[in-house]
Chains A and B, each alone.
Chain A
Amino acid sequence: MNKAIIIGVLIILVIAIGLAIHISNSKEIRVRVTTTTSLYATGLLDYLADEFRKEHPNTFFDFIPVGSGEALRRAENGDACMVFVHAPSLEKQYIEKNVITSRKIFAYNYFIIAGPIDDPAGIRDSNSVVDAFRKIYEAGEEGMAKFVSRGDNSGTHVKELSIWSLTNLDPHGRPWYLETGSGMSNTLLVANEEKAYVLSDIGTYLKLKKEGKLPDLEMLYSNDTELINIYSIYVVSSCTGAERQAAQEFAEFIINKGQELIANYGVKEYGQRLFNPAKNNIEWLEEVWEELSEK
């Protein structure tokens, strides 16, 4: 058994040396960023980070794409230094717990309701989003329409639930209400297959539509007050040292120089902005954010 002991010691040595190399290598600054998958999937964050790194080559951003709920929960555990999210009511809970601080609204766009081209519920000319959801509910009860929900506690899902609560109707458990429990793209593809209505952020919808993956879906309703989608950056309270400083510099970069980059992002590809920069509308956005966070 002596050989076994020697082998065991060798393995432990190798692991220890590996660890030592790993730790000593960390001269570069790595910033751990949790972000919502939908935001990450548009490629905007990688683009902003690449531009920032032209001036700060020693800083690296580790983007960890998860849902808004998980992003904030990981921050609470001290496993992120920066958070990119779009779920005001959820954000408020974590602000109150002092997990995240110094909110910076950096971009906004709109949620849209997409649905089958023949629009069986007739939501095209609704007065409000609440009215549109009521029509979908009624059509659903009559067996003429379906609705696909994210069902994953993401920013988009939280938004959808807050609209349902305004209608005083509860679609949960109805046979026409399908919860996919998955990301926005997947949910849109399910809606396309099922010829169902769906609430989506405009970025993901445009991207998939452009790629020809949503032949049976069309943007049916949008509205620039109720369906606003506000993206914020936070620095996590428990984060310290060089990582915190880099995170703060990156946040400053995004709300200043980065604003123009955001405005032009994706315009060439999709013929339309995916995100609107927050800079010139910041007071209005702060107000709307406060309102949304109360829901």
Chain B
Amino acid sequence: MDILNEILDITIRSLWVSGSATIISSLWSILLAYKLSRSPGASRYIIPFFEALIGIPTVLIGLLLYMILSSRGPLGLFRLLYTPYAIILGQAILITPLITSICYRVLSSSWNTYGELAYTLGASEKQIMAIVLRESIPGVIAASVMGFSRAIGELGIALMVGGNIRGFTRVLTTAIALEVSKGEFEIAVVLGAILIVLVVAISFSLRILRRMYRV
């Protein structure tokens, strides 16, 4: 049952790599989105720019990051190339435009509904932020789930900066690509099915969790 063990190992790696990327990216994206939602001047230029970047090809980010992390690149001395951390970094960058622009919409509408009201009632800046963020939780979670889905389903970054090293940086998508190139279409389809089931299961369980705590 060697192959089952390997598939399990690859699946777990995919989950923690893309999960970490999503958490890191969500933290800075939500803060950025909140800042932007409070500064209409800057967001007029930054939001359309971010929206355009949502569909950026993953190999392009992978290639740029490869050139930066390569031993000849500016950050070469950190020896991050061909490690899971390089993939996490790349995926976190990849999904930043997506999470930021969705969170921006959510936070702006929350601010319009609750923030202004709280402001007129004399709430402090911190209190307003707390209220707006709390009211935006469903939308923010949805944005993070979309980000996670994009991160775990991307191939280009994991291939370029991870290197698809067995037992170290091989994740679901790079394993699929390798099995296809080996002509093992059946294994590739199984891996693909695992990927889809995971993403769907996570999306649903977050929805259920949210209901349990909000009713």
Contact = CB atoms under 8 A, between A and B. Distances in A.
- A interacts with B: yes
B27 A186 contact: no
Contacts of A207: 183
B71 A62 contact: no
Contacts of A41: 178, 181-182
Interface residues of B, number: 26
Contacts of B125: 1
Nearest to B34: A4
Interface residues of A, number: 34
Interface in A196-231: 204, 207-208, 211, 213
Contacts, number: 69
A63 B165 contact: yes
A208 B183 contact: yes
Interface in B162-206: 163-166, 168, 178, 180-184
A175 interface: no
A266 interface: no
Contact of A78 (B71, B82, B168): B71
A62 B163 contact: yes
Q: By CB atoms of chain A within 10 A, which of B180, B181, B184 has the most?
A: B181
Nearest to B67: A77
Contacts of B27: 7-8, 11
Interface stretch (A15-23, A84-92, A101-109, A111-119): A15-23
A179 interface: no
A285 interface: no
B136 interface: no
A65 B178 CA distance: 9
B31 interface: yes
A261 interface: no
Given A32-B82, A63-B166, A185 B181 contact: yes
Given A7-B27, A62-B168, A77-B70, A186 B163 contact: no
A78 B69 CA distance: 11
Contact of B81 (A8, A79, A208): A79
A252 interface: no
Given A182-B181, A185-B181, A189-B183, A22 B72 contact: no
Interface of A: 1, 4, 7-8, 11, 15, 18-19, 22-23, 32, 37, 41, 46, 62-65, 77-79, 182-186, 188-189, 204, 207-208, 211, 213, 238
Given A8-B27, A11-B28, 9 more contacts: A32-B82, A37-B181, A63-B165, A79-B71, A79-B81, A185-B184, A186-B183, A188-B183, A208-B183
24 contacts: A7-B31, A8-B27, A8-B28, A8-B31, A11-B27, A22-B83, A23-B79, A32-B163, A41-B178, A46-B166, A62-B163, A62-B165, A63-B166, A64-B164, A77-B70, A77-B71, A77-B72, A78-B72, A79-B82, A183-B182, A185-B182, A207-B183, A213-B183, A238-B71
